[in-house]
Amino acid sequence: MNDDRHATAERLILQEQVEGISAEERQWLSRHLEQCADCALPARRTAEALRSLRAVSIPLPAGLADRAQLRVYWRAEELEERTREAWTMWIACGIAWILGLLTAPLVWRGFEWVGGLAGLPSLVWQTGFVVWWTAPALVAAIVLIARFGAAGQREQMR
């Protein structure tokens, strides 16, 4: 039981400096530190160490805050631009799909007519229709992968 009280006191000493503790916990800790010299010494040393650290002045390079602020601004602009590009790409893809769906019957008939004129088997002109439909999607996917893959690699290098 006594070890538990010491462990609790140690936890509260550290927690008080970092997160803060409740008034009830502070009262218990104060009473315990008055009665227990073994816990009072680390509490005093911790408080002294923190006072010493707070007193240390670390000189920062001139203009550091301005440079950091500028980098944050640039990064925010870059993220905004990416968002605009992404919306533009989604809108373009949506329009392309809608137009593709609306023109699919006409393109199907066109492939069927050319296949009939050329005497091609149905499987050949139907394959041509599928390629006609998938080629733009494949090109767009390659462009997107190249675009966002390169951006991801730049992001990892930072």
From residue 1, how far is each of 6, 24, 26, 30, 54 by CA, in Å?
9, 20, 20, 18, 36
Asked if residue 56 lies in contact with residue 29, where contact means CB atoms within 8 angstroms, the answer is no
pTM of structure? 0.42
Q: What is the pLDDT of residues 20-32, one digit of tens each?
A: 899 999 999 999 9
Domain count, the chain: 2
> Does residue 125 share a domain with residue 69?
yes
27 inside domain: yes
Residue type (1 letter), 103: T
* Enclosing domain of residue 28: 2-55
Asked if residue 53 lies in contact with residue 18, where contact means CB atoms within 8 angstroms, the answer is no
Q: What is the pLDDT of residues 37-93, one digit of tens each?
A: 888 988 899 888 888 888 888 888 888 889 999 999 999 998 898 888 888 888 888
